[in-house]
Amino acid sequence: METDEVSIREQLFHNRVRETIICVLLFTCLYMVCYLILTHFKKTAEFITDDIEDATVNKIALWLCTFTLSVAVCAVLLLPISILSNEVLLTFPHSYYMEWLNGSLIHGLWNLVFLFSNLSLVFLMPFAYFFTESEGFAGSKKGVMARVYEAVVLLILLALLVLGIVWVASALLHDNVARQSLYDLWEYYLPYLYSGISLFGVLLLLLCTPFGLSRMFSVTGSLLVKPRLLEDIEDTLSCTVFEEDSLFRKLNCGSPSCWVKLNMEAMRKEYLAVQSRRVALEMRRKASPWQRNLGYPLAMLILLALTVMCVLMVCFNVLELLLDETAMPRGMEDPHLGMASFSMFGSLGAAVQVVLILYLMVSSVVGFYSSPLFCGLLPRMKDTNLTQIIANCVSLLILSSALPVFSRTLGITRFDLLGDFGRYNWLGNFYVVFLYNMMFAGLTSASLTKTVTWAVRRELIRAFGLDRLPITVSRSTIPFKLLLASGLSKIQ
């Protein structure tokens, strides 16, 4: 009997060590990748300075930002890893090499991401900002530790301010609970604060994702070679090169009269525009006929199919919310991996769910940086200051930590929320969940209809060369049916 108990304790110990090693390896890989990404965007002048103290402070703040960004990437991968792990265990139920992949590992990963995401939002990122802006208290000895003391004091004051706001909010909403829980910080106020942060992140995703889904078409189009059916690339490229050479000679003109007469700033902008147009034309000339004529339409069709699929799944989830109570998002303690697929279409449906979750995350990031309110946060290569990096890491962490709740609320996946992700107060409110689904479906459908119809007309106008006509082409100038008919007649 004692031997059995010892063997059970040893097995539990080995399982815990194995899960810890796997989590550490995963986070270390993500940390290295995120560090390379941040060093690609950071402003080098802030880290190579004569002041060793400033350089040290900036490096420590960059390490904290890297940790936060790594947690954000882990939060994005939570649902895909969980869904794919379930399908792998269904495919290989008795495989010796898959014994390490179990529900305990996935559950522990969810708990760690929840802990580190809230730790980064509440403590690490505010400390990094205060640390970079602090100079030490007046009269104290200068140095890194003086900045640490000032940053810690400011962080404590901020924590007291936030807790006071949370207490007032809970007192207004739940008077009896707030009075009884004044001294119960860990059990009530911190979960209440996390619930508010998650609700803010989910609302931010509701605003950014529909806008990002419509912007994905233009962003993807700018990265691909667009087809031009009635255009001679060699002729257009020759004219562009001639125009670029002419502007280059004017810019380098050495006579004083030229410097007086020419508006050099406007000339430089025009020269840069012509140069970028020449580079785009050279890329189109080097591209293969398949890439030039098939790549762009195929990418647009894939984006359209993914977006329509998201809208249809949300509409189906709305119907399920009205008919079935199990469609409501909820938490679970044991994931029971390897028992049944989380999609009615099996492994194929699970793969589609993973693709849609990642597509929604990319769309939300595109919509976030394309919105007028947050476009100033867009990082620039080798020219992003540390304050801007901190703001970007906080924004991405808020979006990514709300992604599991966002995907489950919309019905993109049936994988229920694990750990503390499923304990948010507002998840059990039917009216909030139902209204959220309706707003997402309505906003996405409206933005998609507006963007796709005008984008198709604009690309057809460019493809058939009608944009070079001396008249102004607008929606009212050429009807869509007439444009399509004239284009087909020209091809024939």
Three-state SS for 324-347 is: CHHHCCCEECCCCCCCCCCCCCHH
Tokens 């099996």 -> residue:
346
Burial class (CB in 10 A: 0-12, 13-18, 19+), 161: exposed
90-141 pLDDT, tens per residue?
888 877 778 788 878 888 888 888 888 888 888 899 999 998 888 777 767 7
Residue 418, H or E segment = strand 417-418
Give the residue extent of every domain in the chain: 1-225+292-452
Residue 90's nearest CA partner among 350, 338, 336 is 338
359-371 pLDDT, tens per residue?
999 999 999 998 8
pLDDT score at 69? 93
pLDDT score at 175? 54
pLDDT tops 70 at residue 465 = no
For the ranges 11-15, 65-69, 348-352, the lowest mean pLDDT is seen at: 11-15
Q: Using CA atoms, how far apart are residues 191 and 416, in angstroms rounded to an integer?
A: 19
User: Would you mind telling me the total number of residues written for the chain in this entry?
Assistant: 492
Phi, psi of 465 (to 5 degrees): 75, 15
With both helix axes pointing from N to C terminus, report the angle between 403-410 and 190-223 in degrees, rounded to the nearest 10.
80
* 164, 203, 37, 375 alpha-carbon torsion, rounded to 10°: -100
pLDDT score at 453? 67
165-214 pLDDT, tens per residue?
777 776 776 655 555 554 555 556 666 677 777 788 888 998 898 888 88
DSSP 96: G
Instruction: Give yes or no for a contact between 245 and 325, defined as CB atoms under 8 angstroms apart.
Output: no
Three-state SS for 3-49 is: HHHHHHHHHHHHHHHHHHHHHHHHHHHHHHHHHHHHHHHECHHHCCC
Region 455-467: mean pLDDT is 60
pLDDT tops 80 at residue 305 = yes
pLDDT score at 360? 92
**What's the pTM?**
0.79
pLDDT score at 417? 78
249 to 114, 115, 241, 401: CA distances (angstroms) = 60, 61, 12, 54
